[in-house]
Structure 1
Amino acid sequence: MCQCRGEWDKAGNILAQAAQGLQQAGAEGIVLCTNTMHKIARIIESRCSLPFLHIADATGRAIARQGLRRVALLGTRYTMEQDFYRGRLEQQFAIETVMPEADDRAQINQVIFDELCQGGVH
């Protein structure tokens, strides 16, 4: 629960160690299958020499192929409110993101962590 306590560097170090172990096991690249944890992608990239597929890059390319320039962004509050994902879409792909209002973002975040991460939706 590093993210709940704001311990992002600690989470980054844990994932970087995991990436290094996977590299030693013969992996040829890193895919991090969670939008939110891309907040600490720079830590993983700095500690592991494997190619890192950033999810915002893959998303940006897919959006650009469809000719879209303004998209809705739904996700955890970290992903919606912080710059590590939105900024990358804007800077590298000229894609603007729009988000729900603050109350709706809080509810979406609650559903993700308290329901989806626990295996269901109520």
Structure 2
Amino acid sequence: WSFDFAEIAERQHAGDWEGAGALLTEAARGLQAAGAQGLVICTNTMHKLADTVQAAVTIPLIHIADATARAVVDAGVKRPALLATRFTMEQDFYKGRLADRYGLQPVVPGQAGRDLVHRVI
């Protein structure tokens, strides 16, 4: 399943996470009905809605922060740089998961750097 990112970005920037969650949930249910045995959300930022999506289906959702954290831990890194959208760098849904579940201490740029990275993405 693929979305027109403009529609998702519009909801993100409007703060309409409920609307974005409804889109992802509908897609997840459709994929499950079509026979999918698992789900992957292929964007860090939309993992803000991972719990919402997981609650809507019975098949497992592979969380991108978990897969990333395992690779970071295996590499022996404790303070990984986190370059992502402003939502991912500033909110706790991703950074908190890395810290709480894996003991990592993600490092994000200062405000000017976050603004630049977000704008580039």
TM-score, normalised relative to structure 2: 0.90
Q: SS at the partner of 1:50?
A: coil
User: 2 CA distance for matches of 1:66 and 1:46?
Assistant: 32
Give the match for residue 113 of structure 2. 104
Residue 3 in structure 1 maps to residue 12 in structure 2 = yes
Aligned pairs for 1:14-53 (under 5 A) are 14-53=23-62
Q: SS at the partner of 2:106?
A: strand
Question: Structure 1 segments of 4 or more deviating over 3 A?
Answer: none
User: 2 CA distance for matches of 1:42 and 1:96?
Assistant: 22
User: 2 CA distance for matches of 1:107 and 1:53?
Assistant: 29
Query: Where does the alignment leave 5 or more consecutive residues of structure 1 unmatched?
Result: 113-122
Q: SS at the partner of 1:44?
A: helix
Query: Where does the alignment leave 5 or more consecutive residues of structure 2 unmatched?
Result: 1-9
What root-mean-square deviation, in Å, do the aligned CA atoms of Structure 1 and Structure 2 show?
Answer: 0.6
Q: Structure 1 or 2: larger strand share?
A: 1
Q: SS at the partner of 2:25?
A: helix
Instruction: Provide the aligned length of Structure 1 versus Structure 2.
Output: 112
